[in-house]
Structure 1
Amino acid sequence: MAQAQNSKLLNGERISLAILLLCATLLCGLPLLLVFKIGLTQDGALALTPLAEAISSRSVQRALWHSMESSLLSALAATVLGTVLALVVGLTDVRAKGLLVFLILLPMMIPPHVTAIAWIQALGPASPVLRWIGLAPEIGSTHPLYSREGLVLLLTLQHSPLVFLLVRAALRSFPRELSDAARVSGAGAFRLLTRVTLPLLAPALLAGFALAFIAALGNFGINALIGIPARYTTLPVLIWRRLASFGPDVLPNVAVISVILAMVALAALLIQGFLQRRMRASLIGLPQDPLAISLGSKRIWVEVGLWSFVGLVLLLPAASLLATSLVKTYGLPLSSSTLNLDNFAEVLWRQSVTLRAFANSTLIAAIAAGVIAVISIFLGYFVSHRYKAYRRTGTATAAQAEIAFAVPGLVMSIAFILAFIHPLPFLNISLYNTLWIILIAYISAFLAVGLKPVAAAFVQMDRSLEDAARVSGAGFFRRIRRVFAPLVAPSAASGAILVFLTAYNEVTVSALLWSTGNETIGTTIFNYEDGGYTTLAAAMSVVVVLATILVMLGMNGLAKRVPSGTIPWKD
């Protein structure tokens, strides 16, 4: 009798897990399989000939080398920069840490193509800020950012906050006893850093490097806006150019290149996993705030250096972007006679495409964030399930989401084109060239972002709560609704906020999926800049940056009214 009742209670779980596995397979696994199927088959049979032919192409070889080179160099630089910032902010007694953390993480929330546009306008010969202070390069000279080094610099600035976030979180997970024991033994700050802190941070440093490498590998906005003028073509840009050619064999062609890009990203993940297992160290003790090492008389100089860096990274490009948006023609000096708000009026009221883009991005980013939050609550439950079969199935489902997130966004775009270029079977409904294909792509690409904090919350949860609910006769959905959902709501909200901000500003996933009437903010800004409408691109970028800052400030204002962990960048 008891066994029958237990089987009845598990029915809801089986059905829910089956639905989650099916959805993950359809949204994450199947589209990627189609990419590999087309890229690795010839005449309907498995063959490596298309892959070998693509790799033998000089343009593909050059783009692959450029992708590997720029991703590796920028990931190394981002790891160093992000780690230094995390150590200074996390381990010393510098003041205004909360504001510093907010400002350091802000570039991560700014779209990469907006970052590229801002720096292009900040350092170029027509820079309104540099011309005003007399430091602009000569008119007609080559832009200093149009080079491999310029591309690496912007990728570094874009992705170092990712490393900062990971390393800072790792520092806060250290038991305080480690630092105390080292200090009692007479270790100074430098010895504590080199002999205790950095060795224990090795897994986090490796994870940060891998994340920065994969993010740079799939970055489209910076690679396109800097790489194309510099004639430094990377694989994402090559895919975009090939797809824009609309040749008869364009889909098989870009599918093969997408396979190469996906294989590099997956190889990086496998190497990271192998090395992290070798580096893993078990820590005993509760996580506490790390030591606040006193800098003494050096504190003021460290703070000056920190704030100068933050000011350079944020204020110079922001001021240039704003100045460009306030003049009628790019290159005009900013003065009382040239100052106007026509560009803002154009993008906010006159241009229907920009109004549609804001509405479309807000709608699909909000829907994607909400759907992912709900899916994450159910999937997080199964990832930490007590029964091995359920846990393995849940883990396999989550793994598909992890792979979809790790694979560059342009590869996912190609995958969804292949999956939905024909009408849906039986329904005869076409999602291609609609807004809904972008929404589904967002859910697939960013599911892992929303799942991670929820899965971590489930792992830390006491399962005696579920036992008590089962004894009381609560079914699966009632347990989720009344017990687990309220407990993991802060983590689900944290993931949803990150998903919304990421999807709202992205351009990589939607670069190949948008169509007339279904534009997003990212594609509209990119198209303005690519088409030579620099002042309109600047004005729209300013609006996007202000909207992002307002959202983040609004979330900060709610930090004291919501449970700890709800705001992703707050402790």
Structure 2
Amino acid sequence: MIPAFIAGRGASYGRFGGPLFVALLSVLLIVLIVLPVGVLLIGSFLSEPPRALHFDWSGLTLRNYTNVLMEPGFSSLLATTVGAAFSGTGGAMIIGIGLAWLAVRTDVPGRRMIEAVAVMPMFVPPLVGAFAWDILGSPQSGIFNILLRSAGLPGVVNIYSFTGVAFVFSIYYAPYVFLFVASALRNMDASLEEASAMSGAGRLRTIFGVTIPLILPALLSSGLLVFVLLIELFSIPAVLGEPGGVHFVAVKIWELIGFAPPRVNQASALGALLLVVTVTLVLIQSRVLAQRSFVTVAGKGLRPKPVGLGGARWPLAVVGFSYLFAAVVLPYAALLFIALRKSLFYSTVSAMFDPRQFSVEQFVAASENSVIKASFVNSLLVSGATVVIGSVLYFAIAYTVHRTRIPGRKILDVITVLPIAIPGIIIGLGYLWSWISLPIGLYGTLWIIIFAYVSQFAPQGVRAIASSLMQIHPELEESSRMCGAGFVYTLRRVVAPLAWPGILASMTLLLVLSFRELATALFLYTSGTQVFSLTMFDFWQRSSTSTVAVMAIVQTIVLLAIVVIGQRLRRDRGASALPPG
């Protein structure tokens, strides 16, 4: 619980109490976030595996970097990673901007449905999407190619390619672009477009001369965010890239440690190089946005007038809904198809849909598998603990930063933002080398995975809670205290109920992210602490495709249940907080 001396902007926090509390939170964040990354960076300059508190400084060397940079194929590895991320970002931008424009600025039929469709793929874990497209687009046994060959056409779909990976990148990361751009289009002052039209500018000139410059912050932010996420992504490249010989940096880091002989320090060097790239991109984003003014919301702004599409309304509506088909309906139909089949050996359409080959045996077998059941329980425990610990920590940080004037509080905000630029696989690798040697017995337990998740998802959690806290006027807390209420009572009866939407959003987000996360836990699990996503990835490596399909469906059902329950709780809590009458 936050002590009373830091409560409120106008509260007295004492001479030492407030700074001490900030110092304690800072130390905690340094241990959770800064220490693992620091150990990884130091280890990249050592000749022996890095160990927190046990560094052999006599072995400082640049050999790890030279070995990585001079290794045959490194330039191709880097070019493939950056190129696929760039192509995926471009595709995501085209899809996201197009859907946002259709849903917000046009008279296309069903535009509210298109708005819902545009965010649905966010609830499909990238690992699940990769598995589904593996089933659909495999060159030899993919459903698409079997259908094409059965029709007398050559099978030409190859998802195990640079183009295939970029395509899957695009469809599953377009929702990030949509959210940014749709919000910017809604908030934009339409009078500026009206002025452009009245000055004689045509529609295209207005779009490129007025609209796009005004939503440029959203375009830059979403584009750079997606690019950073794709550069560090592990699941899709591991599932779709490796079978076709298309290699990525994140997968290479995993291979350097996961295959004998392990090259620990070279993995650390490669991780450090990846970290430099992501941090640089985040800094560029901040610098570009800080140098320009993008004020678009005015006090007398007009509501944007929908653009009439005429005869193109229905064709464009079909295009919008086809995105849902490609990103959600078709992949899950493929997963369900494989999950229900007894045999995966088929070469014709008639063999594919032979009713004698369908049953629920795979679901029964998965429900009885001890490894799957144990990993499912582990994921529930990890997710639950991440939510409890993370929510308390994030609330304390958000409250201290945004509701007090304690000196030094800004350092908390800076540290919690850092994981945005740190790939999950880097956090996991850093936790491996920093915590494995600490005499506290965390390695080999679920706790090390929990703490890694708490650190990785700190930016999302703190921002979700802070957004609600910043909407609460300080006068409400001051009025409560003037009426004789103490800090704890004010926090429980005033602040927490009003901030509940943000707190619940943070908890729901943490549950979803921690239950689906893969890359962060790659180096932290043991046979007894394997989580659900890792078990699913392990079964895929062993070519147990039917089991993977069953697990992917189960994971999605769990994630949807979490989101639905979270929304229901938020509505119920919001309704109960309203005054009677």
| TM-score tier after normalising by the smaller chain length | 0.7 to 0.9
Extract unaligned runs of 5+ from structure 2.
1-9, 48-55, 347-351
The answer to whether the 8 Å contact 1:9/1:476 transfers is no
What amino acid sits opposite 1:435 in the alignment?
L
| Cα shift at 1:440 | 0.8
SS at match of 1:384: helix
Which residue in the other structure is 1:537 paired with?
548
Q: 2:345 aligns with which of 323, 328, 331?
A: 331
Give the stretch that moved more between structures: 56-65 or 253-262: 56-65
Which residue in the other structure is 2:365 paired with?
346
Q: 1:19 aligns with which of 24, 29, 33?
A: 24
Which residue in the other structure is 2:237 paired with?
223
The answer to whether the 8 Å contact 1:353/1:517 transfers is no
2:448 matches 1:437? yes
| Cα shift at 1:117 | 1.0
The answer to whether the 8 Å contact 1:405/1:444 transfers is no
The answer to whether the 8 Å contact 2:145/2:157 transfers is no
Determine the C-alpha separation between the residues in 2 that align with 1:341 and 1:489.
Answer: 41
The answer to whether the 8 Å contact 1:79/1:163 transfers is yes
2:249 matches 1:235? yes
Which residue in the other structure is 2:560 paired with?
549
RMSD: 3.0
Which residue in the other structure is 1:357 paired with?
375
Cα 1:415–1:474 shift into 2, 3 Å:
farther
Determine the C-alpha separation between the residues in 2 that align with 1:295 and 1:443.
Answer: 47
Give the stretch that moved more between structures: 179-188 or 252-261: 179-188
Give me the identity figure in percent.
25
SS at match of 1:442: helix
The answer to whether the 8 Å contact 1:453/1:494 transfers is yes
| Cα shift at 1:553 | 4.2
TM-score norm. by structure 2 comes to 0.87
The answer to whether the 8 Å contact 1:128/1:324 transfers is no
Determine the C-alpha separation between the residues in 2 that align with 1:143 and 1:532.
Answer: 20
The answer to whether the 8 Å contact 1:218/1:408 transfers is yes
Determine the C-alpha separation between the residues in 2 that align with 1:24 and 1:281.
Answer: 33
Determine the C-alpha separation between the residues in 2 that align with 1:477 and 1:60.
Answer: 57
Extract unaligned runs of 5+ from structure 1.
567-571
The answer to whether the 8 Å contact 2:465/2:503 transfers is yes
Which residue in the other structure is 1:257 paired with?
270
SS at match of 2:409: helix
Q: Over residues 316-350 of structure 1, what are the superposed CA-to-partner deviations in whole Å (9 max), with x where a residue is unaligned?
A: 222111111111222332321101111111112x2
Determine the C-alpha separation between the residues in 2 that align with 1:136 and 1:330.
Answer: 20
Cα 1:302–1:456 shift into 2, 3 Å:
same
Determine the C-alpha separation between the residues in 2 that align with 1:8 and 1:280.
Answer: 37
Give the stretch that moved more between structures: 225-234 or 399-408: 399-408
Give the count of matched residue pairs.
Answer: 552
Which residue in the other structure is 2:517 paired with?
506
The answer to whether the 8 Å contact 2:366/2:372 transfers is yes
| Cα shift at 1:219 | 0.9
| Cα shift at 1:449 | 1.0
2:411 matches 1:396? yes
Q: Over residues 518-547 of structure 1, what are the superposed CA-to-partner deviations in whole Å (9 max), with x where a residue is unaligned?
A: 121211111111111111111111222233
| Cα shift at 1:308 | 2.2
The answer to whether the 8 Å contact 1:31/1:416 transfers is yes
Which residue in the other structure is 2:282 paired with?
269
Determine the C-alpha separation between the residues in 1 that align with 2:359 and 2:161.
Answer: 33
Determine the C-alpha separation between the residues in 2 that align with 1:383 and 1:7.
Answer: 15
| Cα shift at 1:560 | 4.8
Determine the C-alpha separation between the residues in 2 that align with 1:61 and 1:133.
Answer: 36
2:316 matches 1:302? yes
2:79 matches 1:65? yes
| Cα shift at 1:385 | 4.6
Q: Over residues 218-263 of structure 1, what are the superposed CA-to-partner deviations in whole Å (9 max), with x where a residue is unaligned?
A: 1111110111111111111111111112536x33221111111111
Which residue in the other structure is 1:168 paired with?
182
Q: Over residues 188-230 of structure 1, what are the superposed CA-to-partner deviations in whole Å (9 max), with x where a residue is unaligned?
A: 6544433332111111111111111111111111110111111
The answer to whether the 8 Å contact 1:128/1:323 transfers is no
The answer to whether the 8 Å contact 1:377/1:488 transfers is no
| Cα shift at 1:430 | 1.4
Determine the C-alpha separation between the residues in 1 that align with 2:192 and 2:400.
Answer: 34
Cα 1:554–1:99 shift into 2, 3 Å:
farther
What amino acid sits opposite 1:25 in the alignment?
I
Superposition pairs of residues 27-426 of structure 1, within 5 angstroms: 27-41=32-46, 44=57, 48-124=62-138, 125-128=140-143, 131=146, 144-175=158-189, 177-178=191-192, 189-247=203-261, 250-285=263-298, 290-332=304-346, 333-348=352-367, 350-385=368-403, 387=405, 390=407, 393-424=408-439
What amino acid sits opposite 1:253 in the alignment?
Q
| Cα shift at 1:552 | 3.5
SS at match of 1:509: helix
Cα 1:383–1:137 shift into 2, 3 Å:
farther
TM-score norm. by structure 1 comes to 0.88
Determine the C-alpha separation between the residues in 1 that align with 2:156 and 2:297.
Answer: 56
| Cα shift at 1:266 | 0.5
SS at match of 1:305: helix
Cα 1:302–1:418 shift into 2, 3 Å:
same
Which residue in the other structure is 1:455 paired with?
466
Determine the C-alpha separation between the residues in 2 that align with 1:137 and 1:28.
Answer: 56
SS at match of 2:357: coil
Give the stretch that moved more between structures: 65-74 or 206-215: 65-74
